[in-house]
Structure 1
C-alpha cells in the first residue's frame, strides 16, 4: 500500500489534509456545506463508473486511523484499473471541529453518529445531502474502536472489526444486509492473509439514530469499519495498513461484481468483539487476587496526543489480557492495596508507562 507519508500519528486535522486534497486530481468536487465553525465539507469523487460507493471518515473527530488509510488508498487508486467501473464519493473528514479538538463530538457537543434522524447538526446535514445526491450502492462508515476489544477466548486484539448494521430491533437479515455481509466476508478473507484471527464483528444492536442503521433501513448496504489495536502500535500506523488493505479490497470486489458470489452466512464465522483487554495488566502473583487493569486516556496537549494511564479495575482479572503485562510484585511489596497501587501509578514507576 502506498502510505501517505504526510499523515502520521493519532492527531489528524483538516489543515493537515487540505493540501493533499488540493493536489489530488479528483473527478469532481461537490460542496456540501460547512462545519459548525465554518470549515468546508466537500464531497470528493474518484472515477466515473456506474457502481457508486459513499464513504465518510472522522465522523468522530478523535478517530483518525481510517482517514490516514483513506489517503493511502487514494494514492493506490491512481493506478488501479478497476476505477473505471467505480464512482467513489468520499468525505475524508466529516467532523473537522472535533478533529481539531481531538474529541468524539462536534463543536456543539453532539455525537454525529447519534444524529441520523434528527439531523440537527450542519455536519449531519452535509452527510445526508451527499447520500441523497449520490444514491450509493454501498456506504462505508469509517471509525476507530478502543484498545479494550479483542478476539473472544484469544490473546489477540481485534485489529479490525466490521459490521453489517441492523435495520430493525429484531436484527433481521434482508437482501440489503446480506450484500453488506457478503462484502465483509470477502474483505475478511483478504485480511486473514495479514492478520489471522485479528478480525472481529462489531456489536449489531439496533439504534436508528446511528447513521449505519439508518442507511441500511433506507435500503443501502452499509459497512462499518472499525480500526482497532495492533501490538505496540498506539499511533495505529500498522492498523492503517490493514484498514487500507480492506478498503481497497472492498472497492475492487464491488467494481468487479464479486459480491453476489459469496455465502453471507460466513459473516457469522467472524468472532464477535470481546471486551477482553487492558492497555496494561499487572498480575497479582499472591493469593489476594488484586490484579490491576489500567487503560490509557488520550489527551491533546500542545498539538500532540499523550497517553495518560488510569486504573479502571482492581480484582480477579484472570480472564482478561493486557497489551502489556507484568507482575505487580515487581513494583510493590505485598499486601497489595488500592492506595499503594494508585501511588505507584502516580509516580510512573511502572516500566512501560
Structure 2
C-alpha cells in the first residue's frame, strides 16, 4: 500500500465496525436517505437544497472545517446505488472520528456531500429522472430541477475538487483480460482536444494514488474509462471550468451482485482520495501513472455456456442479467443475449456444456431474448438465476 497511514482503516476488521448495516442491497431510495438523516443530524449540518421533479427532497451534508473544499454527489443515476452506500459508510467513519487520519481530513477539508441527486430515479430504479432525462447529460441545458441544484451548489461553493460517483455494468473488464473492472475511474476531458492542464493533472494524480493504495486488494481489477469529451456531462463541465474532477465507477466483484464487497472498495477509494487531498502538497506529482491503468473494455457476460448442441450444431450461449425492481428488491433476470458458434468474451460464471444438448424448460426453441431461470443439459437441470 502506498499510504502506510491507511493500513489500519483498510482492514476488513476495521470496515466491519464502519459499515452502516441498516442499508444494504441494490435498491436504495429516499427512505434510506431519510434514515441516515436521522442517524447523522446531530453530527453534521444537513441542508435540504431543493426538490426533485416529483417533490422529493435533495440534501447536502456539510462536514469539516478545512480550507480545501470537496463537492461529491451520488445516485445522479437512480439505479446506481453502490457509491451511495459507500458514502453512508464514509459518513459513519467521520461520525466516529476515532482515527487521526479522519480527524486530519476534517481539519484540512470541508466536505459537501449530496448522497442522492436523483431520488425519483432511485424510487423507480431507473437511470433517468421522472422526466426521462439523463441528468448526466443535462449540465449544459440545465432543463431539470436536479441538474440546476447541482450546478447551483457548484457555483455557490466553488469547490477545489469534484467527485462524481456512479455504478457501471457487469460487462466491463479492466483491460483485455478476464478481470472484472470492480473499480473504474476517469478524469474527464476539459475540451475536444483532451488537453491536460493543471486541473486534469491533479485529478489524474489522485486516481493514480487511489490505484496504488488499492491494487494489492484488487489485483488487475481497476480500470479507467475513455476520456472522449462531452460538455453536457457533469464531469466534463466542471473540468472545463478548471475544477479537478474524478469520476468513480463501482463495478462487479466476483459473485457480488448486491455489490456489498464493491461497496467496501469504493469506501476505501474515497478515503484514499480524501487522504491525498488533505495531506499531499502536490497531488499531481504521479499523474503520468494514470495512463498505466488499463482502459475498460466490454468483455464480460454474466454467464457463458460453452459448446452445447442446439439444433444439431455446437454453439456458445451468453446470458446477461437484467435488473428488475420487484417488491422493493432488485431481481437479476437471466436473458439469453447471444447464441454463436464461438463467443469471444469471458463469463463471470462459465458452464462447460461438453457438447450436450441444451434445452430451456418450457421453451420449444433455444433463442435470443428469452428469459431463462434454468437450463437442461441432456437430462441434467442447472439453475442459472442468481440468488
TM-score (structure 2 length as normaliser): 0.86
Question: How big is each residue's C-alpha offset from its partner over 1:200-249, in whole Å with a ceiling of 9 and x where there is no partner?
Answer: 00121111100000000011000000000000000000000000000011
**Separation (CA, whole Å) in 2 of partners of 1:103 and 1:261:** 36
Is the 8 Å Cα contact of residues 32 and 129 (structure 1) preserved in structure 2? no
Flag the 1:181–1:313 CA change in 2: closer, same or farther, 3 A.
same
How far apart, in 2, do the equivalents of 1:343 and 1:244 lie? 36
Q: Which is worse superposed, 73-82 or 233-242?
A: 73-82
Q: Provide the aligned length of Structure 1 versus Structure 2.
A: 351
Task: State the partner residue of 1:140.
Answer: 163
Question: Structure 1's 259 and 309: CA in aligned 2 closer, same or farther, altered over 3 A?
Answer: farther
CA 1:26–1:202 in 2, change beyond 3 Å: closer, same or farther? farther
**327 and 135 in structure 1: CA distance in 2 versus 1, 3 angstrom threshold:** same
Structure-1 separation of matches of 2:158 and 2:369: 56
Whether 1:247 aligns to 2:264 is: no
Which ranges of structure 1 fall in alignment gaps of 5 or more residues? none
Specify every segment of 5 or more residues in structure 2 that has no aligned partner in the other structure, as ranges: 1-14, 376-381
**Which whole-Å CA distance do the structure 2 matches of 1:218 and 1:209 have between them?**
13
Supply the RMSD in Å over aligned alpha carbons: 2.1
Counterparts of residues 1-353 of structure 1 (less than 5 Å): 1=15, 2-24=18-40, 25-78=42-95, 79=97, 80-82=102-104, 83-260=106-283, 262-284=285-307, 288=313, 290-329=315-354, 332=357, 339-340=365-366, 346=372, 348-349=374-375, 350-353=382-385
Partner deviation per Cα, 1:46-104 (whole Å, 9 max, x = no partner): 11110110000000000000000001111112311211111010000000000000000
SS at match of 1:260: coil
Distance change >3 Å, CA 266–CA 316, structure 1 → 2: farther
Q: Secondary structure at the match of 1:339?
A: coil
Give the distance between the partners of 1:340 and 1:129, measured in 2 at CA. 52
Q: Secondary structure at the match of 2:366?
A: helix
User: Structure 1's 281 and 322: CA in aligned 2 closer, same or farther, altered over 3 A?
Assistant: same
From the superposition, tell whether residues 203 and 317 of structure 1 become closer, same or farther in structure 2 (CA, over 3 Å): farther
Q: CA distance change for structure 1 residues 72 and 90 in 2, over 3 Å: closer, same or farther?
A: same
Q: TM-score, normalised to structure 1's length?
A: 0.94
State the 1:343 CA deviation. 10
Q: Distance in 2 between matches of 1:284 and 1:291?
A: 5
**Contact 2:308–2:357 at 8 Å: present in 1 too?**
no
Range 224-233 or range 1-10, more displaced? 1-10
Query: 1:328: Cα distance to partner?
Result: 3.2
Counterpart CA distance in 2 for 1:46 and 1:10 is 26
Distance 1:71 1:347, change over 3 A: closer
